[in-house]
Amino acid sequence: MSSPPAHKKIKMLDDENIEGISGCDVLDNEYNRRQLTFKEKQEIILYKEVYYIGKLHVKKLNTDLFPVNNGYDDSSHKYICNMGDHIAFRFKILSKVGGGVFSDVYSAFDFKNSGIVSLKILKNCPKFIRQGKKELNILEIIQEHNVNGEVPIIKFKEYLNFRNHMVFVCELLGPNLWNDMYMSKKLRDNPDKCFSEEKCRLIARQLLEGLQFIHSHKIIHCDLKPENIVTRSSLDSNNIKLIDFGSSMFETTKIITYIQSRYYRAPELIFGQPFDTSIDIWSLGCIVFEMYAGIPLFKAKNETELLRLHINFLGYPPDDYIKTSACKTQFFTSENELHDTTRCFPGSLQFNNFALRKPIYRFINSCLKWKPEDRTTASMGLEDEWFKND
């Protein structure tokens, strides 16, 4: 019997002119069949276009007695990614570039479009799938209004579902701002600083442009922090993009959840008060300080310590602010005094008059106010005196 036609063999990464063929055509080739697990041979039939299948020796499944999701997930319901294996018979997994509680992010080669992308693979749990659908809605709205990529926000390409996991395909960007800041701090002659004021201003302007854009569409990022700000490439650390809308929500459909990383969390979230887009502005002020000073402004281990640091910086909150707090009794007495006044020195961390001669500190001050309505906005921030000489 003659062997199957040569064109039926899936081409590998170093081949050119790759064209997708059907899953049934893949199975016609004995070499290809040997690279597939038993489950993949059943799975691939459903694919009309196959671009990459990977090699059998990299396909390591969860072999526990009671494997999760047919052996594709670990015990925490995260997808088990093996370098060199495929995602959706199209992408070759290259390396892990990030991750968190809800998802992991990998660089991958897209054989369909011949380019490297990032794949964000969410946990296979009902809670995270629900949140993923909300994130998908937000990403699609952002992409619809940012077609040309003029706004510094990550470019979302498409969504797919693979082995019960939501997968977001996005452009691959460079290192995050946290890595860039603290690597810069190590390399500078002055180890007490991260970035020059000029670089801080350049990045802050781009962040304001990104926030102005999403806020105009009533979207709150909800987790603005250095890890969610990435450089466009490893060779271009001055130009950044905003990423990770996994915690984001619309102003009109806010759900009270545990949002914002602690160092960058706005006081209204500690107090259990209503919040809006101004929580992103608070986070921005914290980030600008950290970029310039080389340390987080509110480095707290818990919310009690965080509130104490806020008070040390801003002074005591107004009485009406405390009275309207849903969490008043957790932190304050009936006389609006803190239960625990250890290391509490109201206003002691405020910028002095000498520091406030510098526009950068005045800008940070405009972001950090007890009441959201007293903070600057993204649009107002772009008109701040600090940016006048850009």
Q: Please identify every residue annotated as catalytic.
A: 223
Residue 138, φ and ψ in degrees, nearest 5:
-70, -45
Q: What is the rounded CA–CA span in Å between residue 207 and residue 378?
A: 9
Contact 171, 154 (CB under 8 A): yes
Locus of tokens 């040390």:
312
Task: Show the beta-strand stretches assigned E in the chain.
Answer: 86-87, 91-99, 103-110, 115-122, 156-162, 165-171, 219-220, 229-233, 236-242, 249-250
What would the DSSP string read from start to end of 252-296? GG------S-GGG--HHHHTT----THHHHHHHHHHHHHHHHSS-
Which helix H or strand E contains 359, and what residues bound it?
Answer: helix 359-367
Record the tokens describing residue 54, joined without a space. Answer: 């990977």
182-217 as b/e: b if 16+ CB within 10 A: eebbeeeeeeebbbeeebbbbbbbbbbbbbbbbbee
Residue 290 sits at the vertex; the CA angle it makes with 185 and 255, to the nearest 5 degrees, is: 135
- Residue 36 β-bridge partners: none
Cβ atoms < 10 Å from Cβ of 155: 17
Record the tokens describing residue 219, joined without a space. Answer: 């979207």
Residue type, 192: D
Q: What is the rounded CA–CA span in Å between residue 208 and residue 165?
A: 33
Q: Which of 208, 151, 197 is nearest to 382 (CA)?
A: 208
Count how many Cα atoms sit within 13 Å of the Cα of residue 183 in the half-sphere of its side chain.
8
Helices 197-216, 359-367: crossing angle, 10 deg rounding = 30
- Residue 249 β-bridge partners: 220
Q: N- to C-terminal Cα distance for the chain?
A: 73
